[in-house]
Chains A and B, each alone.
Chain A
Amino acid sequence: MPNVPVMFWSFRIMAGIGFLMIGLFATAFVLCTLRKHETRWFLWLAVFAIPLPWISTELGWILAEVGRQPWAVEGVLPTFLGASSLSVSQLWATIIGFTVLYGALAVVEVGLILKTIKKGPFAEIDLFGLDLAPETPEPTDGPDRPLPTPAAA
Protein backbone atom coordinates (compact mmCIF):
# COMPACT_ATOMS: atom_id res chain seq x y z
CA MET A 1 0.00 0.00 0.00
CA PRO A 2 1.61 3.28 -1.07
CA ASN A 3 1.96 6.12 1.41
CA VAL A 4 -1.57 7.56 1.53
CA PRO A 5 -0.87 11.12 2.82
CA VAL A 6 1.81 11.58 0.13
CA MET A 7 -0.66 10.42 -2.54
CA PHE A 8 -3.47 12.52 -1.09
CA TRP A 9 -1.54 15.79 -0.96
CA SER A 10 0.57 15.44 -4.07
CA PHE A 11 -2.53 14.84 -6.16
CA ARG A 12 -4.47 17.75 -4.64
CA ILE A 13 -1.61 20.25 -4.87
CA MET A 14 -0.87 19.16 -8.45
CA ALA A 15 -4.48 19.48 -9.55
CA GLY A 16 -4.90 22.70 -7.53
CA ILE A 17 -1.95 24.32 -9.30
CA GLY A 18 -3.44 23.20 -12.59
CA PHE A 19 -6.72 25.02 -11.89
CA LEU A 20 -4.76 28.00 -10.54
CA MET A 21 -2.89 28.24 -13.83
CA ILE A 22 -6.16 28.14 -15.78
CA GLY A 23 -7.37 30.99 -13.57
CA LEU A 24 -4.11 32.88 -14.02
CA PHE A 25 -4.22 32.67 -17.79
CA ALA A 26 -7.92 33.53 -17.88
CA THR A 27 -7.09 36.65 -15.82
CA ALA A 28 -4.18 37.45 -18.13
CA PHE A 29 -6.49 37.13 -21.13
CA VAL A 30 -9.10 39.42 -19.59
CA LEU A 31 -6.52 42.03 -18.48
CA CYS A 32 -4.80 42.03 -21.86
CA THR A 33 -8.11 42.36 -23.65
CA LEU A 34 -8.90 45.39 -21.44
CA ARG A 35 -5.39 46.80 -22.15
CA LYS A 36 -4.69 46.57 -18.40
CA HIS A 37 -1.71 44.24 -18.80
CA GLU A 38 0.45 46.44 -16.59
CA THR A 39 -1.74 45.92 -13.53
CA ARG A 40 0.87 45.63 -10.79
CA TRP A 41 -0.73 43.02 -8.55
CA PHE A 42 -1.15 40.74 -11.52
CA LEU A 43 2.45 41.17 -12.65
CA TRP A 44 3.61 40.23 -9.15
CA LEU A 45 1.28 37.23 -9.20
CA ALA A 46 2.79 36.19 -12.55
CA VAL A 47 6.29 36.38 -11.10
CA PHE A 48 5.36 34.20 -8.13
CA ALA A 49 3.63 31.75 -10.46
CA ILE A 50 6.89 30.99 -12.30
CA PRO A 51 7.84 27.91 -10.22
CA LEU A 52 4.28 26.55 -9.94
CA PRO A 53 4.19 24.46 -13.17
CA TRP A 54 7.46 22.86 -12.17
CA ILE A 55 6.17 22.04 -8.67
CA SER A 56 3.03 20.59 -10.21
CA THR A 57 5.01 18.43 -12.64
CA GLU A 58 7.24 17.10 -9.87
CA LEU A 59 4.24 16.25 -7.71
CA GLY A 60 2.62 14.47 -10.62
CA TRP A 61 5.80 12.46 -11.04
CA ILE A 62 5.81 11.55 -7.32
CA LEU A 63 2.12 10.65 -7.54
CA ALA A 64 2.72 8.27 -10.45
CA GLU A 65 5.94 6.74 -9.18
CA VAL A 66 4.96 6.29 -5.52
CA GLY A 67 1.38 5.39 -6.32
CA ARG A 68 2.16 2.42 -8.58
CA GLN A 69 4.49 0.67 -6.13
CA PRO A 70 5.34 -2.19 -5.85
CA TRP A 71 4.59 -2.58 -9.57
CA ALA A 72 6.45 -1.31 -12.61
CA VAL A 73 3.53 -2.62 -14.70
CA GLU A 74 0.46 -3.26 -12.54
CA GLY A 75 -0.06 -6.97 -12.00
CA VAL A 76 2.59 -7.99 -14.54
CA LEU A 77 6.05 -6.70 -13.66
CA PRO A 78 7.13 -5.98 -10.07
CA THR A 79 9.53 -3.05 -9.67
CA PHE A 80 12.45 -5.15 -8.41
CA LEU A 81 12.29 -7.29 -11.57
CA GLY A 82 11.88 -4.30 -13.84
CA ALA A 83 15.06 -2.56 -12.73
CA SER A 84 18.08 -2.63 -15.01
CA SER A 85 21.39 -4.20 -14.06
CA LEU A 86 23.23 -0.86 -13.95
CA SER A 87 25.71 -0.51 -11.12
CA VAL A 88 25.39 2.02 -8.32
CA SER A 89 28.54 3.82 -9.48
CA GLN A 90 27.13 4.25 -13.00
CA LEU A 91 23.97 5.78 -11.58
CA TRP A 92 26.00 8.12 -9.39
CA ALA A 93 28.15 9.11 -12.36
CA THR A 94 25.14 10.24 -14.39
CA ILE A 95 23.31 11.85 -11.45
CA ILE A 96 26.39 13.92 -10.63
CA GLY A 97 27.16 14.53 -14.31
CA PHE A 98 23.68 15.76 -15.21
CA THR A 99 23.44 17.84 -12.02
CA VAL A 100 26.76 19.56 -12.72
CA LEU A 101 25.93 20.12 -16.40
CA TYR A 102 22.43 21.43 -15.83
CA GLY A 103 23.57 23.35 -12.75
CA ALA A 104 26.24 25.17 -14.76
CA LEU A 105 23.78 25.87 -17.56
CA ALA A 106 21.24 27.14 -15.03
CA VAL A 107 23.79 29.63 -13.66
CA VAL A 108 24.49 30.88 -17.20
CA GLU A 109 20.79 31.02 -17.96
CA VAL A 110 19.93 33.01 -14.83
CA GLY A 111 22.80 35.39 -15.61
CA LEU A 112 21.40 35.99 -19.11
CA ILE A 113 17.87 36.39 -17.77
CA LEU A 114 19.01 38.99 -15.21
CA LYS A 115 20.92 40.85 -17.91
CA THR A 116 17.86 40.87 -20.13
CA ILE A 117 15.59 42.02 -17.30
CA LYS A 118 17.96 44.89 -16.49
CA LYS A 119 17.64 46.13 -20.06
CA GLY A 120 13.91 46.36 -19.63
CA PRO A 121 11.21 45.69 -22.21
CA PHE A 122 11.88 46.28 -25.92
CA ALA A 123 15.62 46.09 -25.28
CA GLU A 124 16.09 43.33 -27.82
CA ILE A 125 16.58 46.11 -30.33
CA ASP A 126 19.76 47.28 -28.53
CA LEU A 127 20.90 43.69 -28.17
CA PHE A 128 21.58 43.54 -31.89
CA GLY A 129 23.23 46.94 -31.92
CA LEU A 130 20.56 48.34 -34.15
CA ASP A 131 18.92 51.64 -34.51
CA LEU A 132 15.45 50.76 -35.65
CA ALA A 133 14.06 54.13 -34.59
CA PRO A 134 13.00 55.25 -38.08
CA GLU A 135 10.91 52.09 -38.60
CA THR A 136 9.66 51.65 -35.04
CA PRO A 137 7.50 54.45 -33.75
CA GLU A 138 7.74 55.27 -30.05
CA PRO A 139 5.40 53.01 -28.11
CA THR A 140 2.20 54.84 -27.36
CA ASP A 141 -0.82 53.83 -25.36
CA GLY A 142 -2.89 53.67 -28.50
CA PRO A 143 -4.58 50.47 -29.60
CA ASP A 144 -1.81 49.71 -32.12
CA ARG A 145 0.82 49.25 -29.47
CA PRO A 146 2.22 45.70 -29.57
CA LEU A 147 1.17 43.82 -26.48
CA PRO A 148 3.99 42.36 -24.45
CA THR A 149 3.09 39.01 -22.99
CA PRO A 150 2.84 38.93 -19.18
CA ALA A 151 6.04 36.88 -18.95
CA ALA A 152 8.05 39.23 -21.16
CA ALA A 153 6.78 42.28 -19.28
Chain B
Amino acid sequence: MELPLDYATLRLIWWGLLGVLLIAFALTDGFDLGVGALLPFVAKTDEERRMVINTVGATWEGNQVWFILGGGAIFAAWPFVYAVSFSGFYLAMFLVLSALILRPVAFKYRSKRPDKRWRSFWDWALFIGGFVPALVFGVAVGNVLLGAPFRLDGDLRSFYEGSLLGLFTPFSLLCGLLSVAMLVLHGAAWLGLKAERGAVQARARTYGTIAGLASLALFIGGGLFVAFGDLGFRIVSLIDPSGMSNPLRTAVVAAPGAWLDNYTTAPWTIAAPVLGLLGTVVALAGLWRRSEPMAFGGSSLGTVGIISTVGLSMFPFILPSSIDPGSSLTVWNASSTHLTLFIMLGVTIVFLPLILIYTSWVYRVLWGRASSTEFKTNPDLY
Protein backbone atom coordinates (compact mmCIF):
# COMPACT_ATOMS: atom_id res chain seq x y z
CA MET B 1 0.00 0.00 0.00
CA GLU B 2 1.29 3.44 -0.94
CA LEU B 3 0.96 5.85 1.98
CA PRO B 4 0.27 9.52 1.22
CA LEU B 5 3.21 10.63 3.40
CA ASP B 6 6.72 9.32 2.92
CA TYR B 7 8.72 7.71 5.72
CA ALA B 8 11.18 10.58 6.18
CA THR B 9 8.39 13.17 6.50
CA LEU B 10 6.53 11.03 9.02
CA ARG B 11 9.69 10.63 11.09
CA LEU B 12 10.16 14.38 11.07
CA ILE B 13 6.53 14.94 12.08
CA TRP B 14 6.85 12.48 14.97
CA TRP B 15 10.04 14.12 16.13
CA GLY B 16 8.12 17.40 16.12
CA LEU B 17 5.19 15.83 17.95
CA LEU B 18 7.51 14.48 20.63
CA GLY B 19 8.70 18.05 21.15
CA VAL B 20 5.13 19.36 21.16
CA LEU B 21 4.13 16.86 23.85
CA LEU B 22 7.16 17.58 26.03
CA ILE B 23 6.57 21.32 25.71
CA ALA B 24 2.86 20.96 26.46
CA PHE B 25 3.79 18.90 29.53
CA ALA B 26 6.22 21.57 30.73
CA LEU B 27 3.73 24.37 30.06
CA THR B 28 0.78 22.78 31.86
CA ASP B 29 2.07 20.31 34.44
CA GLY B 30 5.15 22.53 34.72
CA PHE B 31 3.36 25.30 36.56
CA ASP B 32 1.74 22.93 39.03
CA LEU B 33 5.07 21.23 39.72
CA GLY B 34 6.45 24.74 40.23
CA VAL B 35 3.57 25.66 42.54
CA GLY B 36 4.20 22.46 44.52
CA ALA B 37 7.87 23.32 44.88
CA LEU B 38 6.96 26.86 45.98
CA LEU B 39 4.16 25.86 48.36
CA PRO B 40 6.00 25.78 51.73
CA PHE B 41 7.79 29.04 50.93
CA VAL B 42 5.12 31.30 49.44
CA ALA B 43 2.33 30.25 51.81
CA LYS B 44 2.77 30.34 55.58
CA THR B 45 -0.64 29.94 57.17
CA ASP B 46 -3.02 27.05 56.60
CA GLU B 47 -5.47 29.35 54.76
CA GLU B 48 -2.72 30.54 52.44
CA ARG B 49 -1.56 27.00 51.75
CA ARG B 50 -5.04 25.78 50.94
CA MET B 51 -5.54 28.76 48.68
CA VAL B 52 -2.26 28.02 46.84
CA ILE B 53 -3.15 24.33 46.50
CA ASN B 54 -6.52 25.31 45.05
CA THR B 55 -4.89 27.44 42.34
CA VAL B 56 -3.88 24.14 40.73
CA GLY B 57 -6.47 21.95 42.48
CA ALA B 58 -8.76 21.58 39.50
CA THR B 59 -6.19 21.18 36.75
CA TRP B 60 -3.06 19.38 38.00
CA GLU B 61 -4.56 15.99 37.30
CA GLY B 62 -5.57 16.84 33.75
CA ASN B 63 -2.18 18.40 33.09
CA GLN B 64 -0.50 15.05 33.63
CA VAL B 65 -2.18 13.80 30.47
CA TRP B 66 0.78 15.30 28.58
CA PHE B 67 3.22 13.23 30.61
CA ILE B 68 1.32 10.04 29.76
CA LEU B 69 1.04 11.11 26.10
CA GLY B 70 4.77 11.82 25.95
CA GLY B 71 5.54 8.35 27.32
CA GLY B 72 2.98 6.84 24.95
CA ALA B 73 4.39 8.69 21.93
CA ILE B 74 7.92 7.49 22.71
CA PHE B 75 6.61 3.93 23.07
CA ALA B 76 4.65 3.97 19.83
CA ALA B 77 6.80 6.13 17.57
CA TRP B 78 10.32 5.73 18.98
CA PRO B 79 10.45 2.17 20.42
CA PHE B 80 14.26 2.12 20.56
CA VAL B 81 14.28 5.34 22.59
CA TYR B 82 11.61 3.90 24.86
CA ALA B 83 13.51 0.66 25.41
CA VAL B 84 16.88 2.30 26.02
CA SER B 85 15.71 5.20 28.18
CA PHE B 86 13.08 3.45 30.30
CA SER B 87 15.45 0.57 31.11
CA GLY B 88 18.57 2.70 31.31
CA PHE B 89 17.11 5.46 33.46
CA TYR B 90 15.24 2.81 35.47
CA LEU B 91 16.09 3.98 38.99
CA ALA B 92 15.74 7.65 37.99
CA MET B 93 12.27 6.81 36.65
CA PHE B 94 11.52 5.11 39.94
CA LEU B 95 12.57 8.25 41.79
CA VAL B 96 10.31 10.42 39.60
CA LEU B 97 7.40 8.03 39.92
CA SER B 98 7.71 7.84 43.71
CA ALA B 99 7.62 11.63 43.91
CA LEU B 100 4.71 11.80 41.45
CA ILE B 101 2.83 9.11 43.40
CA LEU B 102 3.12 11.25 46.56
CA ARG B 103 1.52 14.20 44.78
CA PRO B 104 -2.08 13.08 44.23
CA VAL B 105 -2.34 11.59 47.72
CA ALA B 106 -0.90 14.77 49.21
CA PHE B 107 -3.46 16.88 47.33
CA LYS B 108 -6.31 14.68 48.45
CA TYR B 109 -5.29 13.75 52.01
CA ARG B 110 -3.88 17.04 53.21
CA SER B 111 -7.04 18.82 54.23
CA LYS B 112 -8.89 15.73 55.43
CA ARG B 113 -7.57 16.11 58.99
CA PRO B 114 -7.10 19.35 60.92
CA ASP B 115 -3.94 18.09 62.69
CA LYS B 116 -1.08 20.54 62.11
CA ARG B 117 1.65 17.92 61.70
CA TRP B 118 -0.50 15.95 59.28
CA ARG B 119 -0.99 18.99 57.06
CA SER B 120 2.63 20.04 57.25
CA PHE B 121 3.72 16.50 56.27
CA TRP B 122 1.60 16.56 53.12
CA ASP B 123 2.72 20.10 52.31
CA TRP B 124 6.28 18.83 52.19
CA ALA B 125 5.12 15.82 50.18
CA LEU B 126 3.75 18.32 47.64
CA PHE B 127 7.09 20.10 47.69
CA ILE B 128 8.92 16.83 46.98
CA GLY B 129 6.32 15.93 44.35
CA GLY B 130 7.06 19.20 42.57
CA PHE B 131 10.77 19.66 43.11
CA VAL B 132 12.05 16.11 42.54
CA PRO B 133 10.35 15.47 39.17
CA ALA B 134 11.37 18.94 37.94
CA LEU B 135 14.98 18.24 38.94
CA VAL B 136 15.14 14.69 37.60
CA PHE B 137 13.51 15.61 34.27
CA GLY B 138 16.17 18.26 33.82
CA VAL B 139 18.94 15.87 34.84
CA ALA B 140 17.55 13.39 32.31
CA VAL B 141 17.65 16.00 29.54
CA GLY B 142 21.23 16.79 30.57
CA ASN B 143 22.12 13.13 30.20
CA VAL B 144 20.45 12.98 26.80
CA LEU B 145 22.70 15.86 25.71
CA LEU B 146 25.74 14.13 27.21
CA GLY B 147 24.82 10.77 25.72
CA ALA B 148 23.68 7.79 27.77
CA PRO B 149 26.03 4.89 28.54
CA PHE B 150 24.31 2.18 26.50
CA ARG B 151 25.21 -0.05 23.63
CA LEU B 152 23.17 -2.23 21.31
CA ASP B 153 24.28 -5.76 20.50
CA GLY B 154 23.89 -7.46 17.11
CA ASP B 155 20.28 -8.42 17.98
CA LEU B 156 19.60 -4.76 18.84
CA ARG B 157 19.21 -5.61 22.51
CA SER B 158 20.12 -2.68 24.69
CA PHE B 159 22.69 -2.91 27.49
CA TYR B 160 22.98 0.00 29.88
CA GLU B 161 26.25 0.39 31.73
CA GLY B 162 25.59 3.40 33.92
CA SER B 163 24.36 3.83 37.47
CA LEU B 164 21.84 6.11 39.15
CA LEU B 165 24.54 8.30 40.68
CA GLY B 166 26.34 8.39 37.35
CA LEU B 167 23.44 10.45 36.03
CA PHE B 168 24.35 13.32 38.33
CA THR B 169 27.29 15.06 36.63
CA PRO B 170 28.03 18.79 36.81
CA PHE B 171 26.42 19.44 33.43
CA SER B 172 23.34 17.31 34.09
CA LEU B 173 22.90 18.93 37.51
CA LEU B 174 23.07 22.31 35.81
CA CYS B 175 20.30 21.15 33.46
CA GLY B 176 18.33 19.83 36.45
CA LEU B 177 18.59 23.15 38.27
CA LEU B 178 17.66 25.00 35.07
CA SER B 179 14.54 22.84 34.83
CA VAL B 180 13.67 23.59 38.48
CA ALA B 181 14.29 27.33 38.01
CA MET B 182 12.29 27.45 34.78
CA LEU B 183 9.30 25.64 36.31
CA VAL B 184 9.43 27.60 39.59
CA LEU B 185 9.35 30.81 37.55
CA HIS B 186 6.41 29.40 35.60
CA GLY B 187 4.67 28.38 38.85
CA ALA B 188 5.27 31.80 40.40
CA ALA B 189 3.82 33.46 37.29
CA TRP B 190 0.81 31.14 37.54
CA LEU B 191 0.31 32.14 41.18
CA GLY B 192 0.31 35.74 40.00
CA LEU B 193 -2.64 34.96 37.76
CA LYS B 194 -4.54 32.60 40.02
CA ALA B 195 -3.71 33.36 43.66
CA GLU B 196 -5.64 35.81 45.78
CA ARG B 197 -4.00 39.22 45.81
CA GLY B 198 -1.90 39.72 48.93
CA ALA B 199 1.06 38.30 50.80
CA VAL B 200 1.25 35.07 48.81
CA GLN B 201 1.47 36.94 45.52
CA ALA B 202 4.19 39.21 46.86
CA ARG B 203 6.25 36.20 47.98
CA ALA B 204 5.63 34.44 44.68
CA ARG B 205 6.96 37.54 42.89
CA THR B 206 10.15 37.45 44.98
CA TYR B 207 10.77 33.74 44.45
CA GLY B 208 9.79 34.05 40.80
CA THR B 209 12.35 36.81 40.28
CA ILE B 210 15.09 34.71 41.90
CA ALA B 211 14.06 31.69 39.80
CA GLY B 212 13.93 33.77 36.63
CA LEU B 213 17.42 35.18 37.17
CA ALA B 214 18.72 31.69 38.01
CA SER B 215 17.03 30.36 34.88
CA LEU B 216 18.78 32.95 32.70
CA ALA B 217 22.16 32.29 34.30
CA LEU B 218 21.81 28.49 34.07
CA PHE B 219 20.57 28.61 30.46
CA ILE B 220 23.56 30.74 29.46
CA GLY B 221 25.84 28.48 31.53
CA GLY B 222 24.41 25.45 29.74
CA GLY B 223 25.11 27.14 26.41
CA LEU B 224 28.74 27.75 27.40
CA PHE B 225 29.05 24.10 28.45
CA VAL B 226 27.70 23.02 25.05
CA ALA B 227 30.06 25.39 23.22
CA PHE B 228 33.25 24.70 25.15
CA GLY B 229 32.58 21.50 27.10
CA ASP B 230 33.20 17.91 26.12
CA LEU B 231 29.82 17.03 24.69
CA GLY B 232 28.29 16.67 21.27
CA PHE B 233 27.96 13.99 18.61
CA ARG B 234 28.04 14.03 14.83
CA ILE B 235 26.91 11.60 12.14
CA VAL B 236 29.80 10.76 9.81
CA SER B 237 28.10 8.33 7.42
CA LEU B 238 25.58 9.01 4.68
CA ILE B 239 22.06 9.43 6.06
CA ASP B 240 19.14 7.63 4.48
CA PRO B 241 16.09 9.36 6.00
CA SER B 242 13.80 6.66 4.62
CA GLY B 243 15.95 3.67 5.53
CA MET B 244 14.99 0.82 7.83
CA SER B 245 15.18 1.62 11.53
CA ASN B 246 18.47 0.11 12.60
CA PRO B 247 20.65 2.34 14.78
CA LEU B 248 23.76 0.24 14.09
CA ARG B 249 23.84 1.34 10.45
CA THR B 250 24.69 4.94 11.26
CA ALA B 251 28.32 5.88 11.93
CA VAL B 252 28.57 8.43 14.72
CA VAL B 253 31.53 10.03 16.47
CA ALA B 254 31.76 12.07 19.64
CA ALA B 255 32.51 15.62 18.53
CA PRO B 256 32.76 18.30 21.23
CA GLY B 257 30.86 21.39 20.15
CA ALA B 258 28.79 19.53 17.56
CA TRP B 259 25.54 20.53 19.29
CA LEU B 260 26.11 23.96 17.73
CA ASP B 261 26.35 22.61 14.14
CA ASN B 262 22.67 23.18 13.38
CA TYR B 263 22.95 26.87 14.13
CA THR B 264 25.37 27.16 11.21
CA THR B 265 23.62 24.84 8.74
CA ALA B 266 20.13 26.16 9.59
CA PRO B 267 20.57 29.65 11.04
CA TRP B 268 16.82 30.04 11.76
CA THR B 269 17.22 27.57 14.64
CA ILE B 270 18.87 30.35 16.64
CA ALA B 271 15.29 31.52 17.25
CA ALA B 272 14.90 28.81 19.93
CA PRO B 273 17.63 29.93 22.35
CA VAL B 274 16.75 33.58 21.65
CA LEU B 275 13.15 32.82 22.59
CA GLY B 276 14.36 31.01 25.72
CA LEU B 277 16.28 34.08 26.86
CA LEU B 278 13.78 36.66 25.68
CA GLY B 279 10.78 34.87 27.18
CA THR B 280 12.48 34.62 30.56
CA VAL B 281 13.42 38.31 30.42
CA VAL B 282 9.81 39.20 29.55
CA ALA B 283 8.64 37.08 32.50
CA LEU B 284 11.01 38.92 34.82
CA ALA B 285 9.82 42.26 33.46
CA GLY B 286 6.24 41.12 34.00
CA LEU B 287 6.97 40.19 37.60
CA TRP B 288 8.70 43.51 38.15
CA ARG B 289 5.93 45.58 36.53
CA ARG B 290 3.27 43.47 38.29
CA SER B 291 1.69 42.55 34.98
CA GLU B 292 0.54 38.98 35.60
CA PRO B 293 -0.37 38.04 32.02
CA MET B 294 3.01 39.37 30.84
CA ALA B 295 4.85 37.29 33.47
CA PHE B 296 2.96 34.11 32.59
CA GLY B 297 3.21 34.72 28.85
CA GLY B 298 6.94 35.32 29.24
CA SER B 299 7.56 32.21 31.32
CA SER B 300 5.56 30.16 28.81
CA LEU B 301 7.55 31.47 25.84
CA GLY B 302 10.78 30.98 27.78
CA THR B 303 9.84 27.36 28.48
CA VAL B 304 9.01 26.76 24.80
CA GLY B 305 12.36 28.31 23.81
CA ILE B 306 14.47 26.41 26.32
CA ILE B 307 13.00 23.00 25.49
CA SER B 308 13.11 23.67 21.73
CA THR B 309 16.76 24.63 22.08
CA VAL B 310 17.58 21.13 23.33
CA GLY B 311 15.66 19.45 20.51
CA LEU B 312 17.01 21.66 17.72
CA SER B 313 20.60 21.56 18.98
CA MET B 314 20.61 17.78 18.94
CA PHE B 315 18.68 17.17 15.73
CA PRO B 316 18.69 14.57 14.25
CA PHE B 317 19.90 12.86 17.43
CA ILE B 318 17.31 11.77 19.97
CA LEU B 319 19.47 9.74 22.34
CA PRO B 320 23.20 9.44 21.60
CA SER B 321 25.32 6.79 23.27
CA SER B 322 28.35 7.96 25.22
CA ILE B 323 30.14 4.60 25.38
CA ASP B 324 29.35 3.40 21.87
CA PRO B 325 28.44 6.32 19.58
CA GLY B 326 27.59 3.82 16.82
CA SER B 327 24.54 2.77 18.87
CA SER B 328 23.16 6.32 18.96
CA LEU B 329 19.47 6.76 18.25
CA THR B 330 18.45 9.38 15.70
CA VAL B 331 15.28 10.55 13.99
CA TRP B 332 16.29 8.54 10.91
CA ASN B 333 17.19 5.23 12.55
CA ALA B 334 15.08 4.67 15.67
CA SER B 335 11.42 5.09 14.68
CA SER B 336 8.60 2.59 14.29
CA THR B 337 7.70 1.39 10.82
CA HIS B 338 6.30 3.64 8.11
CA LEU B 339 2.79 2.20 8.53
CA THR B 340 2.80 2.52 12.35
CA LEU B 341 3.84 6.16 12.18
CA PHE B 342 1.14 6.84 9.61
CA ILE B 343 -1.67 5.19 11.60
CA MET B 344 -0.50 6.88 14.80
CA LEU B 345 -0.53 10.23 13.04
CA GLY B 346 -4.14 9.67 11.99
CA VAL B 347 -5.07 8.88 15.60
CA THR B 348 -3.20 11.96 16.80
CA ILE B 349 -4.88 14.27 14.29
CA VAL B 350 -8.24 13.20 15.72
CA PHE B 351 -7.43 13.13 19.43
CA LEU B 352 -4.88 15.90 19.97
CA PRO B 353 -7.37 18.65 19.01
CA LEU B 354 -9.97 16.96 21.23
CA ILE B 355 -7.59 17.13 24.19
CA LEU B 356 -6.78 20.74 23.39
CA ILE B 357 -10.49 21.60 23.18
CA TYR B 358 -11.49 19.99 26.47
CA THR B 359 -8.41 21.33 28.24
CA SER B 360 -9.06 24.92 27.15
CA TRP B 361 -12.72 24.50 28.04
CA VAL B 362 -11.81 23.35 31.55
CA TYR B 363 -9.46 26.30 32.00
CA ARG B 364 -12.12 28.70 30.74
CA VAL B 365 -14.77 27.35 33.09
CA LEU B 366 -12.44 27.41 36.06
CA TRP B 367 -10.94 30.80 35.32
CA GLY B 368 -10.62 33.22 38.24
CA ARG B 369 -8.58 33.59 41.39
CA ALA B 370 -8.50 31.03 44.16
CA SER B 371 -9.75 32.43 47.44
CA SER B 372 -8.62 31.85 50.99
CA THR B 373 -12.18 31.44 52.23
CA GLU B 374 -14.02 29.55 49.52
CA PHE B 375 -12.69 26.13 50.56
CA LYS B 376 -14.47 26.55 53.89
CA THR B 377 -17.84 26.39 52.21
CA ASN B 378 -17.15 24.40 49.06
CA PRO B 379 -16.46 20.73 49.83
CA ASP B 380 -15.24 20.19 46.23
CA LEU B 381 -12.06 22.14 46.96
CA TYR B 382 -8.94 20.72 48.59
The interface residues of chain A lying within 8 Å CB-to-CB of B101 are 101-102, 105
- In the complex, how many angstroms separate the beta carbon of B165 from the nearest chain A beta carbon? 13
The interface residues of chain A lying within 8 Å CB-to-CB of B160 are 85-86
- In the complex, how many angstroms separate the beta carbon of A148 from the nearest chain B beta carbon? 15
Residues on A facing B (Cβ under 8 Å) = 81, 84-86, 90, 93-94, 97-98, 101-102, 105, 108-109, 112, 115, 124-125, 127-130
On whether the beta carbons of A84 and B83 are closer than 8 Å, the reply is: yes
Is B353's CB within 8 Å of the partner chain A?
no
On whether the beta carbons of B90 and A90 are closer than 8 Å, the reply is: yes
Bound-state CA distance A86–B158 (Å) is 10
On whether the beta carbons of A94 and B158 are closer than 8 Å, the reply is: no
On whether the beta carbons of B87 and A128 are closer than 8 Å, the reply is: no
| A94-B90 CB under 8 A given contacts A81-B157, A84-B83, A127-B112 | yes
Q: Which residue of A lies closest to B112 (CB)?
A: A112
- In the complex, how many angstroms separate the beta carbon of B111 from the nearest chain A beta carbon? 9
Q: Which residue of A lies closest to B159 (CB)?
A: A85
- Chain B residues touching A, majority SS: helix
Residues on B facing A (Cβ under 8 Å) = 83, 87, 90-91, 94, 98, 101, 105, 109, 112-113, 155, 157-160, 376-377, 379
The interface residues of chain A lying within 8 Å CB-to-CB of B158 are 84-85
Sorted nearest first, the 6 A-B pairs with minimum C-beta distance are A84-B87, A85-B159, A94-B94, A128-B379, A90-B90, A101-B98
Q: Which residue of A lies closest to B98 (CB)?
A: A101
- A85 touches which of B87, B98, B112, B113 (Cβ 8 Å): B87
- In the complex, how many angstroms separate the beta carbon of B155 from the nearest chain A beta carbon? 7
On whether the beta carbons of B379 and A81 are closer than 8 Å, the reply is: no
- In the complex, how many angstroms separate the beta carbon of B173 from the nearest chain A beta carbon? 22
On whether the beta carbons of B376 and A90 are closer than 8 Å, the reply is: no
Q: Which residue of A lies closest to B105 (CB)?
A: A105
On whether the beta carbons of A81 and B94 are closer than 8 Å, the reply is: no
The interface residues of chain B lying within 8 Å CB-to-CB of A85 are 87, 157-160
Bound-state CA distance A108–B118 (Å) is 11
| A93-B376 CB under 8 A given contacts A84-B158, A85-B158 | no
On whether the beta carbons of A86 and B105 are closer than 8 Å, the reply is: no
Q: Which residue of A lies closest to B158 (CB)?
A: A85
Sampled A-B contacts (7; CB under 8 Å):
A86-B160, A94-B90, A97-B94, A98-B94, A105-B101, A105-B105, A112-B113
